[in-house]
């Protein structure tokens, strides 16, 4: 019996080693121009495993940085034949650091940066390792663009798969609504294309739940639009005393404003400041050279009963808008939020109270912030089941963000973010933008996908029946029991 057990063990090792792709073999292949391998012993490993949120200290088994789709397939073969799971990274900006998980083969796509604009069919095809600043830098030379992200270092991969909104979206829609085709490496290591003709279910799912565990998306084709050479925007700062009057005016204005305006309202308390600050960004799609664009934002400079604000108007290319956007580095953070059902007098008072109760600290970089992103116009102009991105009913997306530099302040900033979320719950729709994942959500399936979730499970079952792509918030195949 002992002999038999021993024999079976040796036999199974032999079978595994015959079929397993070794790290040595993979490294040799990547060394021929197909990618980079970063092992735990390498000096680069420590910085390479961190993304935007340094609160998570995740340690993958190895980091693989493929240069092409075949190298992604090989990375998957290495992981699967060595009984390992993968985590997938494009730009590394996940609020819950879901793009680098413990004990996984981390597939980091940051070197896959091909981009092609096709003027004949007005499309941009880009590999998912591009960042939005690189996309807009490339497309500006053709006078075109597509709605994406507003911060330079956010990856096109993660943002595009979960929704995607920036100043261009009130006119052109969400990023997911402008995706025409995706190239995907599936769990069975085949490469497929998903579009309106092929793998249509997968195409539906990837546009909104694309980071939910359907595969590794290596390339995306977007609809391109002609862009203006420059756009007008105005950053307007008000006195804190005027907070209630300003937000009331902003909300009333938003109810009837044309799609050509986008608004971003923010309140924050940084470092040891005694009171929070409040500002509005007003962006216009109209012509900035004849006064039309400035006129759209002018009402925010003379709000009745509000002290004259300090305004910072800018006219620049959309590439410059993104290039000079906020790019917070190496912070620890908590992100919470939801789409608000409405902004009433009570909502405004509650937000003010939460902001005034936010922590103070000796470090200027430490910040407690509320962002109200306008997600109206063309973004709401689709049915909730148009694709897997469901949030089409309420235009204000409220995001509470606490970011800080030292772990000693973690509890204080965490408590504040949790309290903010709880205090706002009477005004919350319960729907949460999946691109700001919150690992403390009780039922992320409902919050991110609502009534679209059952269909997502069916599609997951077709494309990844064994549930190979698994993470803390990935969609479960129907073959897996959940309760």
Chain residues binding ligand FAD by CB under 6 A are: 51-52, 87-95, 98-99, 109, 128, 149-151, 154-155, 157-159, 161-166, 210-211, 216-217, 328, 435-436
386 token code pair: 């148009």
CA distance 442 to 90: 27
Q: How far is the CB of 96 from ligand FAD (least distance, A)?
A: 8
Distances from the Cα of 159 to the Cα of 312, 381, 382, angstroms: 28, 20, 19
Residue 98 beta carbon to ligand FAD: minimum distance, rounded to whole angstroms: 3
Joined tokens for residue 268: 């924050």
CB of 118 to ligand FAD, least distance (A): 21
Of 456, 435, 449, which is closest to residue 337 (Cα–Cα)? 435
Judged by CB, which is closer to ligand FAD: 130, or 358?
130
SS3 206: helix
Q: Tell me how far, at minimum, the Cβ of 128 lies from ligand FAD, in Å.
A: 4
Q: Which is nearer to ligand FAD, 428 or 435 (CB)?
A: 435
Question: In the complex with ligand FAD, which residue's Cβ is closer, 61 or 435?
Answer: 435
Q: Which of 355, 343, 360 is nearest to 400 (CA)?
A: 355
Shortest distance (Å) from residue 100 CB to ligand FAD: 8
Q: Which is nearer to ligand FAD, 35 or 163 (CB)?
A: 163
The smaller minimum CB distance to ligand FAD, of residues 78 and 243, is found at 78
- Could you give the angle at which helices 23-30 and 69-81 cross, rounded to 10 degrees? 170
Residue 151 or 354: the one with the smaller Cβ distance to ligand FAD is 151
Q: DSSP letter string over 237-298?
A: EE-GGGHHHHHHHHHHHHHH--TTEEEEEEEEEETT-SS-EEEEEEEE-S-TTSSHHHHHHG
Compute the least distance from the CB of residue 342 to ligand FAD, in Å: 22
Nearest distance from residue 422's CB to ligand FAD, in Å? Answer: 23
CB nearer ligand FAD, residue 163 or residue 173: 163
Tokens standing for residue 156:
């096109």
Q: Minimum Å distance from CB 380 to ligand FAD?
A: 15
Of the pair 217, 306, the CB lying nearest ligand FAD is at 217
Q: How far is the CB of 177 from ligand FAD (least distance, A)?
A: 12
Measured from the CB atom, the residue of 153 and 347 that comes closer to ligand FAD is 153
**Residue 129 and residue 157 in contact, taking contact as beta carbons nearer than 8 Å:** yes
Give the full edge-to-edge strand order of the sheet including 62-66.
35-39, 62-66, 104-108, 85-89
Q: Closer to ligand FAD at the Cβ: 94 or 361?
A: 94
Antiparallel, parallel or unpaired: β 123-127 and 115-118 = antiparallel
List the one residue out of 364, 457, 377, 469 whose CA is nearest residue 72.
469
The DSSP string of 93-145 is --TT-TTS-TTEEEEE-TT---EEEETTTTEEEEETT-BHHHHHHHHHTTTEE
CB of 149 to ligand FAD, least distance (A): 4
Do 95 and 52 meet the contact criterion of CB atoms below 8 Å apart?
Answer: yes
Residue with the closest Cβ to ligand FAD? 158
Residue with tokens 């403390």: 440
The least CB distance from residue 420 to ligand FAD, in Å, is: 18
**Nearest-angstrom CA–CA distance, 305 and 282:** 20
Please report how close the Cβ of residue 68 comes to ligand FAD at its closest, in angstroms.
Answer: 14
* Closer to ligand FAD by Cβ: residue 91 or 309: 91
| Least distance to ligand FAD, CB of residue 165, Å | 4
Q: Which two tokens stand for residue 318?
A: 């959309």
**Residues 301-304: contacts with CB within 8 Å, 24+ apart?**
301/234, 301/236, 303/242, 303/245, 303/246, 303/249, 304/245, 304/249
Q: Are strands 367-374 and 277-284 parallel, antiparallel or unpaired?
A: unpaired
The rounded distance, in Å, linking the Cα atoms of 453 and 464 is 16
Question: Which C-beta is closer to ligand FAD: that of 213 or that of 309?
Answer: 213
Q: What are the φ/ψ torsions at residue 183 (nearest 5 degrees)?
A: -100, 130
- As a 3-state breakdown, the chain gives helix, strand, coil percent values, each rounded to 5, of 35, 25, 40
User: Whose Cβ is closer to ligand FAD: residue 60's or residue 276's?
Assistant: 60
């Amino acid at each position: 019996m002992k002999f038999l057990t021993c024999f079976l063990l040796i036999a199974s090792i032999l079978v595994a080693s015959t079929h397993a792709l070794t790290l040595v073999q993979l490294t040799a292949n990547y060394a021929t121009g197909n990618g980079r391998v970063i092992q735990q012993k390498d000096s680069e490993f420590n910085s390479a495993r961190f993304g935007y949120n340094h609160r998570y200290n995740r340690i993958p088994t190895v980091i693989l940085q493929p240069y092409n789709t075949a190298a992604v397939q090989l990375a998957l073969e290495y992981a699967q034949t060595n009984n390992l799971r993968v985590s997938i990274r494009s730009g590394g900006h996940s609020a819950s650091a879901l793009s680098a998980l413990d004990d996984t083969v981390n597939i980091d796509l940051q070197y896959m940066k091909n981009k092609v604009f096709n003027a004949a069919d007005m499309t941009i095809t880009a590999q998912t390792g591009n960042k939005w600043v690189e996309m807009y830098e490339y497309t500006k030379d053709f006078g075109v663009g597509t709605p994406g992200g507003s911060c330079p270092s956010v990856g096109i991969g993660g943002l595009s798969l979960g929704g995607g909104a920036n100043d261009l979206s009130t006119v052109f829609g969400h990023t997911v609504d402008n995706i025409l085709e995706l190239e995907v490496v599936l769990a069975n290591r085949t490469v497929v294309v998903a579009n309106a003709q092929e793998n249509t279910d997968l195409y539906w799912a990837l546009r909104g739940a694309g980071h939910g565990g359907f595969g590794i998306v290596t390339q995306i084709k977007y609809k391109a639009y002609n862009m203006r050479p420059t756009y007008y925007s105005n950053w307007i700062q008000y006195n804190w005393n005027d907070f209630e009057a300003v937000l009331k005016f902003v909300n009333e204005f938003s109810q009837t404003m044309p799609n050509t305006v986008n608004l971003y309202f923010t309140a924050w308390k940084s470092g040891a400041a005694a009171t929070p600050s409040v500002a509005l960004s007003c962006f216009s799609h109209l012509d900035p050279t004849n006064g039309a664009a400035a006129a759209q934002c002018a009402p925010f400079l003379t709000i009745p009963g509000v002290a004259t604000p300090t305004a910072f108007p800018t006219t620049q290319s959309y590439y410059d808008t993104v290039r000079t956007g906020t790019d917070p580095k190496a912070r620890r953070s908590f992100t919470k939020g939801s789409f608000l059902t409405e902004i009433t007098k009570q909502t405004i008072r509650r937000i003010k109270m939460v902001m005034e109760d936010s922590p103070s600290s000796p470090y200027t970089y430490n910040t407690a912030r509320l962002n109200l992103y306008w997600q109206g116009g063309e973004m709401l102009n689709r049915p909730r089941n148009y694709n897997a991105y469901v949030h089409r009913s309420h235009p204000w997306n409220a995001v509470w963000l606490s970011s800080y530099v030292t772990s000693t302040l973690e509890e204080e900033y965490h408590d504040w973010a949790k309290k903010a979320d709880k205090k706002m719950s009477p005004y919350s729709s319960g729907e949460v933008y999946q691109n700001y994942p919150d690992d403390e959500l009780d039922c992320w399936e409902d919050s991110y996908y609502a009534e679209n979730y059952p269909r997502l499970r069916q599609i997951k079952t077709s494309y990844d029946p064994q549930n190979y792509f698994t993470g803390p918030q990935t969609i479960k195949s129907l073959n897996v029991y959940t309760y």
